[in-house]
Amino acid sequence: MALYIKAAEILEKVELKKGAVKTLVYESKFQVSADIFVPQTQKYSSVLREIIDSTKLLKETKLRIHLAKVLVYDLLIGHRVKCGGAWKTMMLKHRSRLQAALTRIKVKRKVSRNQDLLPSSFQQTQDVIPHYVRVNTLKTTLDDVIDYLKRERFSYQGTASRLENLDCLSGKTFLCDLHLQDLLVFSAKTDFHNHFLYKAGHIILQDKASCLPAFLLNPRVGSNVIDACAAPRNKTSHLAAIMKNKGYLTSYLILKNKDNFFARRSTVRQTHFFLKF
């Protein structure tokens, strides 16, 4: 339940322009889950509001609007309300009406997919920008990940020879990046948030731009590296992978409280990056 409360708080601050999503998420102790949860809820915010208003959910449940948005998103679009207790019971009680409201909106707008309800700016971004996945070589190998995906009927197209190759990605096809050998590229609609490889820490969902700093620095194995503005998370673990977990990697970060510290440490350790705090 704490995740939903924190996600609602972050969503409210974002909508009131009191902070950026990533900054607020990183300041919370739920950054791994909230990093997915909050941006997606924000994208569907107007649709969620329409569903909530049409079903009079706030009046019947006494929920605040931002918490209601988070719960309705998770019930109808996300991961189907993983929280327990009273909230789960309450949301499941209203599921039929909420689902019917979502269906009516789709019929009215003549669409069949949830993502087609998004504002055009979100849809254009989703349809154009490919999804990047960095192989966490601290826990597995590129070949093992490719073989695993092939067994799941993904079609490996080899290494991209030019940027135009990315425009041809669709369905379950994927490529190895043109510049970064441990980076895989998938079509824009590919989602790995619930995939075993992601949950096990074998792959990291990281945009190419975020991978470039460590790639360009390219520290030698055994180097002494200072990460002066670390979360720490993706870039820090990428540096550790390039260094093969050998050497010294000092990360500087500013956290508001002890909970944030332990949450960050847990995130880092999931990748098998042995950073000393």
| Same-domain status, 84 and 197 | no
- What are the pLDDT digits (tens) for 139-151? 999 999 999 999 9
pLDDT of residue 202: 95
| Same-domain status, 68 and 158 | no
Say which CATH number the domain at 173 has: 3.30.70.1170
| Same-domain status, 20 and 96 | yes
Range scoring the smallest mean pLDDT among 71-85, 87-101, 248-262: 248-262
Q: Which domain holds residue 48?
A: 2-123
Please report the sign of the dihedral spanned by the C-alpha atoms of residue 210, residue 189, residue 106, residue 61. Answer: negative
Whole-number Cα distances in Å, 89 to 66, 80, 164: 19, 12, 49
- The share of the chain scoring above pLDDT 70, in percent, equals 79
pLDDT of residue 204: 92
What's the total number of domains in the chain?
3
Residue 222 has pLDDT above 70, yes or no: yes
| Same-domain status, 118 and 96 | yes
- Which of 67, 89, 123 lies at the terminal end of a domain, its last residue? 123
Q: Is residue 276 part of a domain?
A: no
pLDDT of residue 277: 43
- What are the pLDDT digits (tens) for 67-91? 999 999 989 988 665 666 788 888 8
| Same-domain status, 117 and 37 | yes
Whole-number Cα distances in Å, 165 to 102, 132, 158, 181: 37, 14, 10, 16
Is 0.85 topped by the overall pTM?
no
Mean pLDDT of all residues in the chain?
Answer: 84
